[in-house]
């Protein structure tokens, strides 16, 4: 089978971690075609991408030598790992290559200091360097471990638009390029080690896909190469039924549907961002989340399928406020919902949950605490006429709340789920402030007070025997 796999920054954060990565790739390579996508080294004492971005900003403030401070540390970090992981000849070839890349950055840094301006385009040259360095290091480590490997810059593979700092791939062209470049390597038994995070415009100017973009790179390549499976190697065994800090008995889910994954991501569970894996979901390519530091664990398999006829996981969003707009004149007042949402949008506030009973006396919106005041102010402005006519008589903000979300695509059409959720709340003596369920029935969300949040999560976890 053909596997495209990505290792995150912590999975390649030290010589020991990279040794583990090499062992995983070597094992996979025995039975499968493997493409490896790597992030920049995220070492405990030196976060490569962060330090590159900081240096670029310092340069823009006129510190021409900003890169001169970080470049030697980055060289040392990578060469120290190389000394442990690569054969002497590999190590000797790597050093001048990395040095030249960092010298280029130091020169760029001086030019930016002279100009006194950092464009997003120049920033992308800086921020993507960690991946370029690391792909070379890891390819050398693989060759030294007896696995034929070649470092490849994704600027040759992933063609993007010109939104520097947050570019979007042009899939058709990317697919063509990636296949042309990578399939011959796979055929010859070589493992391509591709930089995550970066791409290039049609005219070859480097871009980046946004912070954390290596996952996206991996999806793009997995889709382009029509992979049989795509594996994301992280620092956890997979997706959990709940946050283990809140629910000690939380366990790893063996399987998850695409829509369950998307719901969980929305609620802040530490999984994959839906936009990131969209190219894979579209093609129904199975995804696995696996643990670099516990490779014998099967991890979580995410794919098609409806899931069990029950809840699968429970998660919470903290620091939520709820805004209630209400009054007798709201009944049948057409356009009021549109104006409410319009006002909140003008305040650039993201709505987390909406609920309105069919009596139409009030509309509730949950937003993050940090954004509540801005939303409230804009709502008061928008509805000031209705206020004076007393059609709308109150805009209330309730603070210190939590949204608890119960997720499972098999809940759809299964009677009794809501009963179990609310039964669990009743048994635990927890007051439910608001409720929302979309008609996809993938998710039931409850608003409860922050003081009850953890207990609500535990009660539901128990109630469904997760």
Q: Which residues are near ligand ASP by CB under 6 A?
A: 9, 39-40, 49, 130, 196-197, 211-214
Minimum CB–partner distance for residue 291 and ligand ASP (Å): 17
To the nearest whole angstrom, how small is the minimum distance from the Cβ of residue 196 to ligand ASP?
5
d(CA 7, CA 11): 6
C-alpha 155/C-alpha 206 separation (Å) is 6
CB of 322 to ligand ASP, least distance (A): 33
In whole angstroms, the minimum distance from the beta carbon of 166 to Mg ion comes to 15
Q: What is the CA radius of gyration of the chain?
A: 25
**Backbone angles phi and psi of 51, in degrees to 5:** -70, -35
Among ligand ASP, Mg ion, none, residue 238 binds (CB under 5-8 Å by kind): none
How far is it, in rounded angstroms, from Cα 167 to Cα 161? 6
CB of 183 to ligand ASP, least distance (A): 25
Nearer CB in complex with Mg ion: 8/192: 8
Residue 14 contacts which entry, Mg ion, ligand ASP, none (Cβ below 5-8 A, type-dependent): none
The closest of 130, 213, 217 to 166, measured between CA atoms, is 213
What's the token pair of residue 412? 């759809």
Give whichever of 8 and 199 is closer to Mg ion, judged by the CB atom.
8
Residue 43 and residue 77 in contact, taking contact as beta carbons nearer than 8 Å: yes
Instruction: Give me 89's structure tokens.
Output: 């000849």
Shortest approach of ligand ASP to residue 57 CB, angstroms?
Answer: 15
Round to whole Å and give the CA distance between 344 and 410: 33
How far is Cα 236 from Cα 233, in angstroms, rounded to an integer? 8
Residue 109 contacts which entry, ligand ASP, Mg ion, none (Cβ below 5-8 A, type-dependent): none
Sign of CA dihedral 19, 21, 10, 211: positive
* CB neighbour list of residue 396: distance below 8 Å, 6 or more residues apart: 323, 324, 326
DSSP assignment of 176-211 equals HHHHHHHHHHHHTT-EEEEESSEEEETT--EEE--T
Residue indicated by tokens 């939380």: 250
CB of 221 to ligand ASP, least distance (A): 14
Nearest to 191 by CA among 9, 2, 19: 2
When the beta carbons of 6 and 288 are compared against Mg ion, the nearer one is 6
For ligand ASP, give the closer residue by CB, 49 or 86: 49
**What dihedral angle (degrees, nearest 10) is formed by the CA atoms of 177, 180, 185, 188?**
170
Tokens for 120, please give them. 């997003």
Residue 336: strand pairing partners: none
Dihedral sign for Cα 76, 78, 82, 88, please. Answer: negative
Q: Which does 40 bind (CB under 5 to 8 A by kind): Mg ion, ligand ASP, none?
A: ligand ASP
- Reference 57, options 7, 119, 102, 132; nearest CA is 119
Q: 463 touches which of Mg ion, ligand ASP, none (CB within 5 to 8 A by kind)?
A: none
Contacts (CB under 5 A) with Mg ion, residues 187-226: 212
Nearest approach, Cβ of residue 197 and ligand ASP (Å):
4
Is 327 a residue that touches Mg ion (CB under 5 A)?
A: no
Q: Give the HSE-up count for residue 277: Cα atoms under 13 Å, Cβ half-sphere.
A: 26
Residue nearer to Mg ion on the CB measure, 47 or 288: 47
Smallest separation (angstroms) from ligand ASP to the CB of 167:
13
Closest CA to 411 of 447, 438, 434: 438
| C-beta of 219 vs 443, nearer to ligand ASP | 219
Closer of 42 and 355 to ligand ASP (Cβ): 42
User: Cβ-count burial of 252 within 10 angstroms (0-12 exposed, 13-18 middle, 19+ buried)?
Assistant: middle
Minimum CB separation of residue 213 from ligand ASP in Å reads 5
Task: Give the nearest distance from C-beta 365 to ligand ASP in angstroms.
Answer: 32
For Mg ion, give the closer residue by CB, 9 or 463: 9
Binding mask 25-44 for Mg ion (x = CB under 5 A): --------------x-----
Q: Site for Mg ion (CB under 5 A): which residue of 9, 192, 199, 279?
A: 9
Nearer to ligand ASP, 271 or 430 (CB): 271
Q: Which lies closer to ligand ASP via its Cβ, residue 174 or residue 195?
A: 195
Between 212 and 303, CB nearer to ligand ASP: 212
Of residues 108, 126, 114, 112, the one with CA closest to residue 49 = 126
CB nearest ligand ASP: which residue?
A: 214
- Given the rule CB under 5 A, which residues bind Mg ion? 8-9, 39, 212
């Amino acid at each position: 089978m053909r596997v495209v796999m990505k290792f995150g920054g912590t999975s390649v954060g030290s010589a020991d971690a990279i040794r583990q990565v090499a062992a995983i790739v070597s094992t996979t390579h025995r039975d499968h075609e493997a493409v490896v996508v790597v992030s920049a080294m995220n070492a405990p004492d030196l976060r490569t991408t962060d330090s590159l971005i900081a240096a670029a900003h310092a340069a823009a403030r006129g510190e021409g030598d900003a890169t001169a401070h970080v470049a030697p540390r980055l060289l040392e970090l990578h060469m120290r790992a190389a000394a442990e992981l690569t054969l002497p000849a590999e190590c000797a070839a790597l050093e001048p290559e990395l040095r030249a890349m960092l010298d280029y950055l130091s020169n760029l840094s001086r030019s930016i200091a002279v100009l006194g301006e950092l464009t997003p385009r120049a920033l992308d040259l800086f921020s993507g360097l960690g991946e370029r360095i690391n792909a070379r290091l890891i390819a050398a480590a693989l060759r030294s471990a007896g696995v034929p490997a070649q470092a490849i810059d994704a600027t040759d593979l992933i063609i993007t638009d010109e939104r520097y700092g947050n570019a979007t791939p042009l899939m058709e062209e990317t697919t063509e390029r990636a296949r042309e470049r990578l399939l011959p390597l796979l055929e010859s038994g070589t493992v391509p080690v591709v930089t995550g995070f970066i791409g290039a415009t049609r005219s070859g100017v480097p871009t980046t896909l946004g912070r954390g973009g290596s996952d996206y790179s991996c999806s793009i390549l997995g889709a382009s190469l029509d992979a049989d499976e795509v594996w994301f190697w992280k620092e956890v065994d997979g997706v959990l039924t709940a946050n283990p800090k809140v629910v000690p008995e939380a366990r790893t889910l063996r399987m998850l549907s695409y829509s369950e994954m998307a719901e969980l991501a929305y609620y802040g569970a530490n999984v994959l961002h839906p936009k990131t894996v969209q190219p894979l979901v579209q093609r129904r390519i199975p995804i696995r989340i696996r643990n670099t530091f516990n490779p014998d664990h099967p991890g979580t398999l995410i794919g098609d399928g409806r899931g069990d006829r029950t809840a699968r996981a429970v998660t919470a969003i903290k620091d939520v406020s709820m805004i209630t707009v209400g009054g007798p004149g709201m009944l049948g007042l057409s356009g009021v919902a549109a104006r409410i949402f319009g006002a909140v949008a003008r305040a650039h506030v993201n709505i987390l949950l909406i609920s309105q009973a069919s009596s139409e006396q009030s509309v509730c919106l949950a937003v993050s605490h940090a954004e509540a005041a801005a939303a409230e102010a804009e709502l008061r402005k928008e509805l000031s006429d209705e206020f004076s006519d007393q059609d709308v008589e109150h805009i209330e903000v309730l603070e210190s709340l939590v949204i608890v979300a119960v997720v499972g695509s098999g809940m759809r059409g299964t009677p009794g789920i809501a009963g179990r959720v609310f039964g669990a709340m009743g048994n635990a003596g927890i007051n439910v402030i608001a409720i929302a369920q979309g008609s996809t029935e993938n998710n039931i969300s409850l608003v409860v007070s922050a003081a009850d949040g953890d207990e609500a999560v535990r009660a539901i976890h128990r109630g469904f025997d997760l």
